[in-house]
Amino acid sequence: MAKVAEGYYGGLARKTETVLGWNRESVQLALHERRSGIMTSYRFTSVNQLKPVI
């Protein structure tokens, strides 16, 4: 996701969202993970809400 956003849309999450219909927050997270080299892991709570693990 980050490779496509960087390669075709200059790393602009909003433009990627508009053109491809991808969730902007997901694109922003992917770009951040790619730039920082740190992958964010997630866990689901008992009511299926996505929460980041710190």
10-36 confidence digits (pLDDT tens): 999 999 999 999 999 999 999 999 999
Measured distance CA(25)–CA(2) in Å, rounded: 12
In the prediction, which pLDDT does 33 show? Answer: 92
Q: Please give the average per-residue pLDDT across 43-54, as a whole number.
A: 59
Measured distance CA(4)–CA(44) in Å, rounded: 27
In the prediction, which pLDDT does 39 show? Answer: 83
Count the domains in the chain: 1
pTM value > 0.75: no
pLDDT at 44 over 70: no
Residue 12 CB neighbours (<10 A): 16
Measured distance CA(30)–CA(28) in Å, rounded: 5
Range of the domain at 17: 2-52
In the prediction, which pLDDT does 45 show? Answer: 57
